[in-house]
């Protein structure tokens, strides 16, 4: 297992092509860039905590492939205990970072790919599972951080991949030879991509035979020749570059996961790292498996992030002198209630998990999708209440530069004072934290991370056994269900 520092050092060995605001970054020092270093620090936490005896049970486990001790972020789930410890680990880390730590997407891609390749091989006589197992052993041994890459640009959403005017709007196999495949296209919104060692390419939806070239799953280094990363902007990101720690809110760990647009220009992938190539019948299964594993997470990670939001709002109330007001207590209690509701779904879908044919365990898909759909709504309610408690000053607060100014700092210090004994700077820090936790990219990620709300609705509608519910209702009412057929 790597330590956090070993993780950072390993990133400097890559030869990545990363652009940020139009500038090509030095691959050795890009992890020190003000826009990127917080994401690196947050991911490094997942490495360091594995060596902390207090968290060893959550952060580590024994590999089902090698029987060696490994970081949990590289494991294959061997039971409901693993699934439950996963979400407990996520909530714990979120409480320590207040943000995304980026390793979950690759983690979920591993478990989805392990299970689907097994079923492909059983049905089709391929050897994808064997290939993936060998890659997974290296992943565990090297303690890689692997980015999951599923979402394609999609172009005209009314058209299938083969119908697009530009075929590169979905990642596809442009060429195959005896050595491997060549990829063209792009993936979007890739969390943690620029501070990962490898990436897992997956199809973005289920495909038919006409789109077989788009049904591809494979692994490649993030610095593979022909790969270009374009780092995405985030709300208030210039504060990281030009302003002090106060204005950043969460200066150490940043906000969400540092997403990027990743472009592939005839990128070579050797056959040993190819785990699906044209088997369109299994593309939908891989998407659904991955989505369920990933949606399982959200009550854990967003539960932990919401814990920080609740804490920030409560401290601001203390510092401002209105914490004892009945309506403030009621709002904070409601935030707690909503957060634990998110958490309950993650625990429930984990506890109700079942073994897949490959042997790894899968969370209950109905509960996982319901839990993620709750996140698309309840996080907005939690953050609305936090902003309500904090007050309008969250949006109008002067800058840290004003606080430090020899001319006007005294006015900021005087007029932003709260209760006696509370430093103005400390109050400003809490207000900025509340701003960061409740606005911009953090909210958008709650809505669209792991799929849009409509994606979850489709899944829980399909999984809800509505016809059984109708028959049960008719039976209880004394109506013969058979009389009305299906």
pLDDT in tens, 269-324: 999 999 999 999 999 999 999 999 999 999 999 999 999 999 999 999 999 999 99
Percent of the chain residues topping a pLDDT of 90 = 86
Report angle CA 253, 258, 259 to the nearest 5 degrees: 160
Q: Looking at residue 241, what is its pLDDT?
A: 82
Q: What 3-state DSSP class applies to 87?
A: helix
Average pLDDT over residues 323-329: 97
Average pLDDT over residues 437-456: 78
pLDDT in tens, 126-165: 999 999 999 999 999 999 999 999 999 999 999 999 999 9
Q: Above 90 in pLDDT, residue 456?
A: no
Mean pLDDT of the chain: 95
The answer to whether 253 touches 41, Cβ cutoff 8 Å, is yes
Report which of residues 245 and 441 the model is more confident about: 245
The pLDDT confidence band at residue 239, using thresholds 50, 70 and 90, is confident
* Distance from C-alpha of 199 to C-alpha of 263, rounded to nearest angstrom: 12
Report angle CA 442, 325, 391 to the nearest 5 degrees: 35
Q: Looking at residue 255, what is its pLDDT?
A: 83
Report angle CA 435, 441, 445 to the nearest 5 degrees: 125
Strand positions, DSSP E, 271-422: 274-277, 354-355, 361-362
* Distance from C-alpha of 21 to C-alpha of 4, rounded to nearest angstrom: 28
Q: Which of 305, 266, 363, 287 is nearest to 91 (CA)?
A: 305
**Structure-block tokens of residue 211:** 């789109």
Q: What 3-state DSSP class applies to 303?
A: helix
Report which of residues 241 and 39 the model is more confident about: 39
Q: What 3-state DSSP class applies to 179?
A: coil
Q: Is 359 left (phi over 0), alpha (psi -120 to 50) or beta?
A: left
Query: How many C-beta atoms surround the C-beta of residue 200 within 10 A?
Result: 27
φ, ψ dihedrals at 27, nearest 5°:
-60, -25
- The CATH architecture assigned to 4-292 reads Beta Barrel (2.40)
* Distance from C-alpha of 426 to C-alpha of 421, rounded to nearest angstrom: 11
Buried b / exposed e across 88-115, counting CB within 10 Å, b at 16+? bbbbbbbebbbbbbbbbbbbbbbbbbbb
Average pLDDT over residues 73-93: 98
Residue 250 DSSP one-character state: S
Report angle CA 217, 222, 223 to the nearest 5 degrees: 130
CATH 1.10.10.10 for domain 293-474: no
Q: Above 90 in pLDDT, residue 233?
A: no
pLDDT in tens, 22-57: 999 999 999 999 999 999 999 999 999 999 999 999
pLDDT in tens, 400-413: 999 999 999 999 99
Say what the pTM is.
0.93
Q: Looking at residue 455, what is its pLDDT?
A: 76
Q: What 3-state DSSP class applies to 266?
A: strand
Going edge to edge, which strands form the sheet with 146-149? 146-149, 198-201, 216-221, 274-277
Would you say the CATH fold of 293-474 matches that of 4-292? no
Q: What 3-state DSSP class applies to 257?
A: coil
Q: Above 90 in pLDDT, residue 460?
A: no
Query: How many C-beta atoms surround the C-beta of residue 19 within 10 A?
Result: 15
Percent of the chain residues topping a pLDDT of 70 = 100
The answer to whether 46 touches 100, Cβ cutoff 8 Å, is no
φ, ψ dihedrals at 221, nearest 5°:
-65, 150
The answer to whether 227 touches 174, Cβ cutoff 8 Å, is no
Cβ contacts of residue 22 below 8 Å, gap of 6+?
A: none
Domain ranges of the chain: 4-292, 293-474
Q: Looking at residue 449, what is its pLDDT?
A: 76
* Distance from C-alpha of 85 to C-alpha of 107, rounded to nearest angstrom: 14
Average pLDDT over residues 436-465: 80
Query: How far, rounded to the nearest angstrom, does the alpha carbon of residue 68 sit from its chain's CA centroid?
Result: 26
Q: What 3-state DSSP class applies to 127?
A: coil
Q: Looking at residue 187, what is its pLDDT?
A: 97
The answer to whether 173 touches 259, Cβ cutoff 8 Å, is no
Q: Looking at residue 405, what is its pLDDT?
A: 97
Query: How many C-beta atoms surround the C-beta of residue 241 within 10 A?
Result: 10
76-90, 326-340, 342-356, 467-481: segment of lowest average pLDDT = 467-481
Q: Looking at residue 486, what is its pLDDT?
A: 60
Q: At what angle do helices 283-296 and 326-351 cross, to 10 degrees?
A: 140
Q: Looking at residue 177, what is its pLDDT?
A: 97
Report angle CA 464, 109, 147 to the nearest 5 degrees: 135
Q: Looking at residue 447, what is its pLDDT?
A: 77
Q: Looking at residue 457, what is its pLDDT?
A: 76
91-95, 177-181, 471-475: segment of lowest average pLDDT = 471-475
The pLDDT confidence band at residue 249, using thresholds 50, 70 and 90, is confident
Q: Which of 136, 117, 130 is nearest to 74 (CA)?
A: 136
**Structure-block tokens of residue 386:** 């936090």
User: How do strand 146-149 and strand 69-71 relate by DSSP bridges?
Assistant: unpaired
Q: Which positions are catalytic?
A: 100, 104, 191, 259, 294, 298, 301, 445
């Amino acid at each position: 297992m790597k330590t956090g520092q070993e993780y950072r050092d390993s990133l400097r060995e890559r030869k990545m092509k990363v652009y940020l605001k139009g500038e090509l970054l030095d691959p050795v020092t890009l992890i020190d860039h003000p826009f990127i270093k917080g994401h690196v620090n947050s991911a490094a936490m997942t490495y360091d905590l594995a060596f902390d005896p207090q968290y060893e049970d959550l952060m580590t486990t024994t590999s089902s492939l090698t029987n060696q001790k490994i970081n949990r972020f590289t494991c294959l789930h061997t039971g409901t205990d693993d699934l439950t410890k996963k979400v407990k680990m996520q909530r714990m880390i979120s409480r320590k970072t207040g943000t995304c730590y980026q390793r979950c997407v690759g983690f979920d891609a591993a478990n989805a790919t392990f299970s689907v390749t097994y079923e492909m091989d059983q049905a089709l006589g391929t050897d994808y599972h064997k290939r993936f197992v060998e890659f997974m052993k290296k992943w565990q041994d090297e303690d890689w951080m692997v980015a999951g890459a599923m979402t394609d640009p999609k172009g005209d959403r009314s058209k299938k991949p083969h119908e697009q005017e530009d075929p590169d709007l979905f990642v596809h196999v442009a060429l195959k030879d005896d050595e491997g495949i060549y990829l063209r296209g792009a993936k979007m919104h890739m969390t943690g991509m620029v501070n990962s060692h490898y990436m897992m390419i997956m199809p973005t939806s289920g495909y038919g035979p006409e789109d077989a070239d788009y049904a591809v799953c494979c692994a490649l280094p993030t610095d593979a020749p022909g790969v270009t990363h374009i780092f995405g902007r985030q709300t208030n990101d210039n504060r990281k570059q030009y302003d002090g720690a106060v204005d950043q809110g969460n200066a150490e760990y940043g906000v969400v996961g540092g997403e990027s647009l990743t472009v592939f220009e005839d990128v070579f992938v050797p056959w040993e790292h190819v785990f699906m190539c044209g088997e369109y019948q299994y593309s939908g299964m891989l998407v659904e498996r991955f989505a369920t594993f990933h949606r399982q997470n959200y009550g854990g990670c967003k539960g932990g992030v919401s814990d920080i939001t609740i804490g920030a709002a409560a401290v601001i109330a203390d510092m401002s002198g209105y914490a004892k007001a009945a309506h403030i207590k009621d709002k904070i209690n409601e935030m707690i209630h909503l957060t634990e509701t998110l958490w309950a779904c993650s625990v429930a879908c984990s506890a109700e998990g079942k073994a897949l044919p490959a042997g790894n365990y899968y969370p209950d898909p109905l509960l996982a999708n319901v839990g993620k759909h709750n996140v698309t709504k309840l996080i907005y309610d939690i953050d609305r209440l936090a902003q309500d408690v904090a007050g309008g000053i969250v949006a109008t607060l002067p800058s840290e530069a004003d606080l430090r100014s020899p001319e006007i700092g005294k006015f900021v210090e005087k007029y932003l004072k709260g209760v006696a004994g509370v430093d103005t700077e400390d109050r400003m820090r809490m207000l900025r934290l509340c701003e960061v936790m409740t606005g911009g990219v953090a909210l958008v990620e709650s809505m669209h991370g792991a799929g849009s709300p409509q994606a979850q609705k489709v899944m829980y509608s399909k999984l809800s056994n509505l016809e059984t519910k109708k028959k049960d209702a008719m039976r209880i009412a004394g109506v013969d269900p058979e009389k009305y057929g299906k």
